[in-house]
Amino acid sequence: MNDYKKCNLCDGTNYDPISSLDRHGQALNTVICVNCGLVQTQPMPSEVEMAEFYRLEYRKRYKKTPTPPMKHIYRSGHRCLARLEKAKAHIKPDMQAVDLGSGAGEFVFLLKTRGVKAKGIEPSEGYGGFAKIVLGLDIQLKPIEKAKIKEESLDIITAHHVIEHMVDPLKSFQTLAKWLKPGGKILAEVPNINSRMHAPSRRFHFAHIYNFSPETFASLGKKAGLDVEEIQIEPGTEHIFAVFTKSGQDNVQVDLEQGLSKTRNILKKHTKFSHHLSAYPYSRFFNNLQRPFREKIAISGQTDPKELLQKIYDNG
């Protein structure tokens, strides 16, 4: 008998195995729900276990440092400009906004330079502490479940590669919905299980408890009582970007059965051999090869992270 929990999306209990290893070759059991197609880690880690992991270990394990170095600030600053460009139709000056998993605070800082009343929620003491102390931002250093936000107080919630880390994303979405004003929006981006950009052996890792398809991600929002205003696949990354609204427009119809079939088909056909016959690994390699040189030149002589971000955002 296993310790598998019910599927967070459909309450199903039947799963098919997909992988037994993570991207580093360590044991990680990943399955697909045969009812709705949600790909997930099973057995599921506990909320207590994950809260402690994100508080102390996550940034050190995946960023290799407990606080952000200048090159990470520079890189993140430019990525935040791209995030805002994508979201600008939804975010306006004087809106009340919260950035979930706000990291070192680069996006919160950017929103404030654009007149948005923004704050963040970040469980990592190192990165979140940097945002509070160095950037002077309003950051709650705690998981979402313990955050103090008044109900119906927010116009916008942003979540950039955060939802896939949650042990109970449905419960978290329901909490977020309570924070939103009527007509408020959640702008969320997650990795796409259907993407072929990464090698199959690099697909899964411990921090990503859930691996969404467009169908399962849209369905999660709907089950939490939110409308899906839009959902799209990002060019260049193939990530999923969605706009969920509270009492808004529901423009997206979902067919979970069709989504399950599509995900199964992609996972079956996307092999190590087919991946290396595509252009993805080579374009990624050359882009990554050039990046350290560009970043080193850009941050040369820069010693103040806040000044660096301000310079990036003034020119963005």
Residue 91 lies in a domain: yes
Distance CA 11, CA 2 (A): 16
What average pLDDT does the chain have? 93
Give me the helix-helix angle, 256-269 and 214-223, nearest 10°. 150
Residue 25 lies in a domain: no
Cα atoms found within 13 Å of the Cα of residue 83, Cβ hemisphere only = 23
Exposed, middle or buried: residue 168 (CB in 10 Å: 0-12, 13-18, 19+)?
middle
Helix (H) or strand (E) holding 120: strand 117-121
pLDDT band at 293 (very low <50, low <70, confident <90, very high): confident
* pLDDT at residue 56 tops 90: no
Out of 17-21, 156-160, 179-183, 288-292, pick the least confident: 288-292
Residue 92 lies in a domain: yes
The pLDDT score that the predictor gives to residue 285 is: 66
Residue 12 lies in a domain: no
Residue type, position 24, single letter: H
pLDDT tens profile 254-285: 999 999 999 999 999 999 888 888 887 777 66
The pLDDT score that the predictor gives to residue 296 is: 81
pTM across the whole model:
0.93
Out of 52-56, 92-96, 128-132, 137-141, pick the least confident: 52-56
Which range marks the domain in which residue 89 is found?
A: 57-315
Tokens of 216: 């399962």
Residue 98 lies in a domain: yes
Residue 10 lies in a domain: no
pLDDT tens profile 219-267: 999 999 999 999 999 998 999 999 999 987 888 999 999 999 999 999 9
CATH number for the domain spanning 82: value is: 3.40.50.150
Out of 15-29, 44-58, 118-132, 212-226, pick the least confident: 44-58
The pLDDT score that the predictor gives to residue 1 is: 44
Residue 4 lies in a domain: no
pLDDT band at 7 (very low <50, low <70, confident <90, very high): very high
Instruction: Give me the number of domains the chain comprises.
Output: 1
The pLDDT score that the predictor gives to residue 298 is: 79
* pLDDT at residue 288 tops 80: no
Q: 30: Cβ–Cβ under 8 A, 6 or more apart, which residues? A: 17, 18, 19, 20, 39, 40, 41, 42, 204, 211
Residue 201 lies in a domain: yes
Tokens of 128: 């979140």
Beta-strand pair 96-100/240-245: unpaired
pLDDT tens profile 57-112: 887 777 777 789 999 999 999 999 999 999 999 999 999 999 999 999 999 999 99
